């Protein structure tokens, strides 16, 4: 990432305008063209520097559910299992930890029942135990990761 990429990511974390031409508006605020902004966002996605770019919805307010899930995945199977897990569009993000439970992912589903259904499918496909850890409480902290 160069300095302009960092500036774009930091700026976009603060919000995205609801306007007729939001990319043009953001580009103007940053001091670049709309086309350059679009190309740079696409490049960050293509290079997997950004895993996604888009709105965040509170799925529970829409009748759906969230859950944090963990797995203990043997090192030699990690990439294969990650690919299987990431195949599900309901997997909001998946990350590796240096811990006995070394794979953690978040499910965001249209209904609470889908959490169990998808976790059972992942257990069946991988042959590994899935540890579902549903949210008990929620705290808003307004996280922004300055680059």
What pTM value is reported for the model?
Answer: 0.63
59-90 pLDDT, tens digit each: 788 888 989 999 999 999 999 999 999 999 99
Of 5, 8, 2, 1, residue with least CA distance to 30: 8
Percentage above 90 pLDDT, the chain: 73
Q: Is 59-133 CATH 3.30.70.3460?
A: yes
Query: Could you tell me the two tokens for 145?
Result: 């990761």
Could you tell me the fold of the domain covering 3-46? Arc Repressor Mutant, subunit A (1.10.10)
Which residue spans of the chain are classified as CATH 3.30.70.3460? 59-133
Identify whether the C-beta of residue 71 lies closer than 8 Å to the C-beta of residue 131.
yes
pLDDT of residue 122: 97
Looking at the DSSP bridge assignments, the partners of residue 134 are: none
H/E run at residue 106: strand 103-109
Which residue spans of the chain are classified as CATH 1.10.10? 3-46
pLDDT band of 55, cuts 50, 70, 90: confident
**Phi, psi at residue 7, to the nearest 5°?**
-60, -40
pLDDT of residue 85: 96
**Cα separation, 55 vs 62, whole angstroms:** 14
pLDDT band of 138, cuts 50, 70, 90: confident
Alpha helices in the chain (DSSP H): 3-12, 22-30, 34-46, 78-86, 112-126
pLDDT band of 131, cuts 50, 70, 90: very high
- Average pLDDT taken over every residue of the chain: 92
């Amino acid at each position: 990432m160069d300095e302009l990429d960092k500036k774009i990511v930091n700026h976009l974390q603060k919000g995205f305008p609801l306007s007729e031409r939001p990319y043009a508006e953001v580009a103007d605020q940053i001091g670049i063209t709309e086309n350059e902004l679009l190309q740079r966002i696409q490049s960050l996605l293509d290079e997997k520097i950004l895993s996604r770019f888009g709105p965040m919805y509170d799925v529970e307010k829409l009748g759906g559910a969230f859950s944090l899930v963990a797995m203990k995945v043997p090192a030699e199977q990690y990439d294969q299992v990650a690919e299987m897990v990431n195949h599900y569009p309901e997997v909001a993000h998946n990350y590796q930890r240096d811990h006995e439970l070394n794979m953690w992912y978040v499910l965001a589903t249209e209904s609470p029942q889908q959490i169990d259904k998808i976790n059972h499918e992942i257990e069946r496909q991988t042959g590994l135990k899935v540890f579902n850890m549903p949210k008990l409480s929620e705290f808003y902290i307004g996280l922004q990761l300055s680059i």
